[in-house]
Structure 1
Amino acid sequence: MASPVFSSATPPASSSSYHLSHVTESHPGVQGGSLTSSMINSPRLGNLWRALRSVRITTLFYSSLVAVLGSLSFGYGMGFSSPALADLEDNKGKHTSFDKTIYSDTFNALTAVGGLIGAPLAGWLVDRNGRQFTMVLCSLPFSIGWLLILITHDITGPLFRPLLFIGRFVVGIGIGGTSLVVPLYIAEISPSDLRGLFGALNQLAVTIGILLVQSLGIGLHYEWLCVIGLAILLVYVPLSSMTLRESPRWLISSGKNSVAGKVLAWLRGPDFDVNQEQMEIEAQLASEEKLTLLEQLRSFSTRPVFHPLILAMFLMFFQQFSGINAIIFNGESIFEEAGVSNPAVITAVSIGAVQVVATLVGVILTDIVGRKILLTIGGITMCVSLVVLSIYDFLNNEPYCHPDASPSDPKCKDHLQPLAITAMMFYIVGFSIGWGALPWLLASELIPLRVKGAGVGIATCFNWICATIVLLSFGSYQDAVEPWGAFLSFAVVCLLSVIFVLVFVPETKGKTLEEIEDHFNRGGKQYTPI
């Protein structure tokens, strides 16, 4: 079956038109650097290069970087569990220490439970109060949560665990809200041909946050990790509240057209057809009624809204049930099982660093090769890697490892150690180039503007439901089917995700948000086979 893409072969000149006469001239937003003639002549690289030269890249890049400081806090909060639990479980002499049982599982799962509340709450706020305001507001639960966890360091009484759990839950609320609003904001301030590039910065910042907290956790106790989490917010809040501009689309939807025009001019610069882009947004919004939250929810029964929402929810499902959180949270134990010395250091540095580098590659490729190709390559890579991990775990047990040896015999583990490490790293690469960033980006692209807050909120909330299920059930599921069986079932999900993307997901690279919405208004049937 031919894969569905939008019928128009190239973006219309309206919203993504470029003044090509300026391509070879110097541009104030681009500092230095050059491309060879062969790179310029490459259609995909040439389009990206022209897109970068057609806008005031400094303002767009600055706005995106400030926004993804929230995503950095997201990743820092998610990655906090691994070093914090190791510290809590080794809390010598204190009766408040954690066992590797229900306490650790609860501590992990409370992050996802908090996300279940933070995501829909942010979905309501982004439409009511704006994207910028919601980003700033998400720093409040982060701050409260870090402070609650911080003060537990000096508590040894019965309040220790409740305060710790409440703090982790409140941090989860901030994580859930941020996971919704940051990719939404970036998608709406970016021109169509650069939306993937800048939108993928969200996931890059998340991975940097995870790497940061895991690396710091090697030498710092959990209370100092909380202090650093608060320090990130001290930078993020002033910058996001005082220097960012509100999303032009939200401003127009709120009747602030003149302000939206000024913001677009600030974001795009003199070489971009700002008036045409604003007229397109205004025309799209003029054809739609301004809906209340209840009316937005009712509109999800209509195909133009229901169809993209279902696609977004399936993408979130495949992201979580690919096993990423189970693999990341248990990465240290997998390396330990493989006989690696200093598994905590290996987990923090090798996997964390690989995730950052691979995500950076994905950021660069998103608007060059497109969303579908990266999701497909990522899904296949993850599937093969999980099959290899499954084979490793299967062979690493009696009697396949060494028929005459005891279960603790290290010979087989030493022999298969490179297999496990390599498979783990390739799994992280596959996730990072595709399934880490793109489900969030596509959710913000596919769901129509008139219901975007509620729709992205529902999709994000569903993502956190899936994450909660995986985190709460992985331990017992692994005990029931053995680790190799769990890896194999995740591999099947990755294979299904590839089929789903190829058959059902439209390519959005280079399309304006209005074109994407028109696609679903036409019933999603205007496809061109590729």
Structure 2
Amino acid sequence: MATQDISAETVTEERQPLRYSNFERSSTFRRWPQYIAVFFATLGGATAGLVGGWTSNAAPALRLRGLSEPSLAWVGALPAAGALLGALPAGLLAASLGRRRLLAAAAVPSAAAWLAVYFAIGDIDSLEGSLADSGMYSTKLWILLSGRVLLGVAMGVATVVAPLYSEESCDVAIRGRLGVAQNLQIDAGILLAYTLGAAGASLETQTLVPVAVPLVQLVALLWIPESPAHLAAAPEAEAMRRAPKAARWLRLELDPLERRRREADARGGKETPPLRVRCRALLIVVGLMTLRQFLGINAFIYYTVDIFQQAGSSLSPEMATLVVGIVQLAATALSGAVVERAGRRPLLLASGATAALSHAALALSASPWAAGAAWLPLLAINVFFVAFAAGFGSLPWFITAEVVPTPDAAWMSGLAVASNWLLIFTVTKVFPESVAKLGRQMTFALLGVLSTVTTLFALLFVPETRGKPRDAIQRELLEESVFVLPCCARSRQRVKPTERAGAGAGEQQPLADYGASAAPPRYS
């Protein structure tokens, strides 16, 4: 084939070592292309945040203009249903089409869906048709609901593919810092939506502004490179030509072809991971992505205005949600700054425990004993958002990309994210009905119990991945007990050292340390 017809001269030239000046050896300066690439790859997260924030702002307006409660519930829940449909095949499509190409493809229906929603709400009073006897909706309501489903499909694709691209396109030393980029974008989208609502922007304006986000991402994705790890999986000659070129653009420390070899070595030279590794990875990623929704985050995001109205807060609901958006964005940024120092597990455990306490405070605020304490729900919700953003909000996205074996990344990541969106759909649909039937006090008490269960799962099953390359993580999943508590686990086996790329047979380096060096990468 033509792709296989490549001269040895070309291959040699493509694999020449990178050479930096003394100034460029600074890790912060050298890695700026990684920050840029991850920023644009995760920009779809801002659309996901705008979808949730738009629902929170639009719910009171849609209700006042005649939209029924059942229809409003579907408007809030359908994006999650669409995301479930988009997430399931996204991993397999990313493996065949490429990460960058699929993200670009998802940006197009995202922009089209926002325009469809804008058209549907143009005459809001005619959304509910007069055909109640036949159980049919008006044409514009169907357009509104279809637009929300299409937004969800684009969100589902982006939330599967963007974390994979981020993990594959940055060095181990900053993987945690860039791993929170997806959730940071989601929080930024939520804050933008809340800001538009607090500024008194019309519903039409709040619907048109988000159109710019996928269009900017589409243009940027034409410029940044494809994931080097994806290119390294191509036929050998093509991989040797394209993967190092992308790695040089990103200024990665490790040749993606060498990374692929090390992962295979960690599996005993086999391309297919052992069943034990697959089962443990699947338990961790599906458990994290599913149970994180038991904390109730999307119920808060979609119905924040309603929650503050019902709680009788002294702040206007729009200003209260703006405060929440700012706090959530700041907490996610702080999480990115400390995750490589504090570790994944401590942040997850603190996040779940604090969320449980926040739900207890919200349940208390709905009781007669807290009558007159209008400040309590605002405080509890802000503490909840800080706790969630610092742990379960951002960390499961890139822990999924860290833990799944590369050969299984396509289907395993898609399944994990699809389970996340399934729970988002369920919680978003059930939350208002639960408040109506059980009351706010019982609903928040139940969320507190579920938050405690989620914390226990992280305590028992989620290993620490800070500073470890994927091959070291794979070896730990193979060699260590399913339970990560010292009292439950069997005797730890130290990760065996591997030979440093290009070093002599007697020169060894621990797997967990590779990538930490500031020396420039060499493709030899």
Using structure 2 for the length normalisation, give the TM-score.
0.81
- The 5-angstrom pairing of residues 362-381 of structure 1 reads 362-381=335-354
- For the residues of structure 1 that align with 2:305 and 2:286, how far apart are their CA atoms? 30
Q: Is 2:40 the partner of 1:66? A: yes
- For the residues of structure 1 that align with 2:24 and 2:50, how far apart are their CA atoms? 34
- For the residues of structure 2 that align with 1:528 and 1:85, how far apart are their CA atoms? 44
- Matching residue's letter, 1:188: E
For 1:310-365, what per-residue CA distance to the aligned partner results, in whole angstroms no more than 9, with x for missing partners? 11111112210111112232322332233224533223311111101111111111
- For the residues of structure 2 that align with 1:341 and 1:175, how far apart are their CA atoms? 35
- Unaligned regions of 5+ residues in structure 1, if any? 1-21, 31-51, 92-96, 291-298, 402-411
Distance change in 2, residues 1:477/1:153 (3 Å) = closer
Distance change in 2, residues 1:343/1:333 (3 Å) = farther
2:260 corresponding residue in structure 1? 281
- The 5-angstrom pairing of residues 486-497 of structure 1 reads 486-497=443-454
For 1:351-391, what per-residue CA distance to the aligned partner results, in whole angstroms no more than 9, with x for missing partners? 11110111111111111111101111111111111111111
- For the residues of structure 2 that align with 1:452 and 1:166, how far apart are their CA atoms? 30
2:302 corresponding residue in structure 1? 329
Q: Is 2:91 the partner of 1:98? A: no
- For the residues of structure 2 that align with 1:227 and 1:333, how far apart are their CA atoms? 23
Structure 1 moving runs of 4+ over 4 Å: 523-530
- Matching residue's letter, 2:240: N
Comparing 470-479 with 158-167, greater Cα deviation is found at 470-479
Identity %: 27
- Unaligned regions of 5+ residues in structure 2, if any? 1-19, 130-137, 488-524
Preserved CA contact (<8 Å) 1:193 1:510: yes
**Shift of residue 29 of structure 1?**
7.7
2:118 corresponding residue in structure 1? 150
After superposition, the CA RMSD in angstroms is: 2.5
Preserved CA contact (<8 Å) 1:193 1:509: no
- For the residues of structure 1 that align with 2:468 and 2:309, how far apart are their CA atoms? 46
- For the residues of structure 1 that align with 2:343 and 2:226, how far apart are their CA atoms? 27
Q: Is 2:250 the partner of 1:250? A: no
- The 5-angstrom pairing of residues 94-493 of structure 1 reads 97-99=66-68, 101-155=69-123, 156=126, 158-218=138-198, 219-240=200-221, 242-255=222-235, 256-268=239-251, 272=253, 274-275=254-255, 278-285=257-264, 287-289=269-271, 302-341=275-314, 343-395=316-368, 400=369, 412-413=371-372, 416-493=373-450
Preserved CA contact (<8 Å) 1:519 1:526: no
- For the residues of structure 1 that align with 2:477 and 2:311, how far apart are their CA atoms? 48
For 1:430-468, what per-residue CA distance to the aligned partner results, in whole angstroms no more than 9, with x for missing partners? 001001011111111111110101100000111111111
- For the residues of structure 2 that align with 1:308 and 1:501, how far apart are their CA atoms? 13
Preserved CA contact (<8 Å) 1:87 1:221: no
1:42 corresponding residue in structure 2? none
**Shift of residue 87 of structure 1?**
2.9
Preserved CA contact (<8 Å) 2:290 2:420: yes
- For the residues of structure 2 that align with 1:66 and 1:29, how far apart are their CA atoms? 24
**Shift of residue 481 of structure 1?**
2.8
For 1:296-316, what per-residue CA distance to the aligned partner results, in whole angstroms no more than 9, with x for missing partners? xxx89x321121111111111
Comparing 479-488 with 446-455, greater Cα deviation is found at 479-488
Distance change in 2, residues 1:363/1:327 (3 Å) = same
Using structure 1 for the length normalisation, give the TM-score.
0.80
- For the residues of structure 2 that align with 1:345 and 1:322, how far apart are their CA atoms? 23
Distance change in 2, residues 1:495/1:393 (3 Å) = same
Preserved CA contact (<8 Å) 1:252 1:282: no
**Aligned-partner SS, 1:246:** coil
- For the residues of structure 2 that align with 1:524 and 1:449, how far apart are their CA atoms? 21
**Shift of residue 523 of structure 1?**
5.5
- For the residues of structure 2 that align with 1:310 and 1:525, how far apart are their CA atoms? 10
Comparing 319-328 with 147-156, greater Cα deviation is found at 147-156
1:43 corresponding residue in structure 2? none
Preserved CA contact (<8 Å) 2:184 2:333: yes
- For the residues of structure 2 that align with 1:181 and 1:474, how far apart are their CA atoms? 29
- Matching residue's letter, 2:49: G
Distance change in 2, residues 1:289/1:214 (3 Å) = same
- Matching residue's letter, 2:443: A
Preserved CA contact (<8 Å) 2:53 2:193: yes
Distance change in 2, residues 1:289/1:146 (3 Å) = same
Preserved CA contact (<8 Å) 1:77 1:175: no
**Shift of residue 201 of structure 1?**
1.3
